[in-house]
Amino acid sequence: METRTNQNKISEGTHLVGDIKSKGGFRLEGTVEGNLTTPSKVVVGKTGSLKGALHCENADVEGKISGTLTVAGTLTLRATAVIEGEVFANKLAVEPGANFNATCVMGGLTKDAIEDALSASAAVAGVRTTKKGQDVSVSN
């Protein structure tokens, strides 16, 4: 039996406000204002933009991200990428031309450190989480 992973796509011209959690990967060509969390890979295309926190396994960025990035694996910044904020990643690959204006902590990210970063960004968004990242309550 063939196993397929769920791939989510937010197309160019789409503007989404709110937090997104998914088990599948993402391709972002539109705009998201909120937090994006997945245990899979995220690709931010040239027209893609995220203002908020990104938590994922691996990320490949050609577009713009403003906020906190927590990448358990490799964060790859293409020549057209624009990053502003804070970056936590185990590995970082940057192509010439990428705009990287962020504080950066690399390597040694443990599962607990990633869960702590998830909890911190959720608290900013008004979502309380348990140590395992499960939602407890939302306040507006």
Q: Do the beta carbons of residue 48 and residue 29 sit within 8 Å?
A: yes
Q: Do the beta carbons of residue 56 and residue 38 sit within 8 Å?
A: yes
Q: Is the pLDDT of residue 137 over 50?
A: no
- Tens-digit pLDDT profile for residues 71-114: 999 999 999 999 999 999 999 999 999 999 999 998 876 666 66
Domain boundaries, the chain: 7-124
| Residue 39: both structure tokens together | 């245990």
- Tens-digit pLDDT profile for residues 31-43: 999 999 999 999 9
pTM: 0.76
Confidence at residue 76, expressed as pLDDT on a 0 to 100 scale = 98
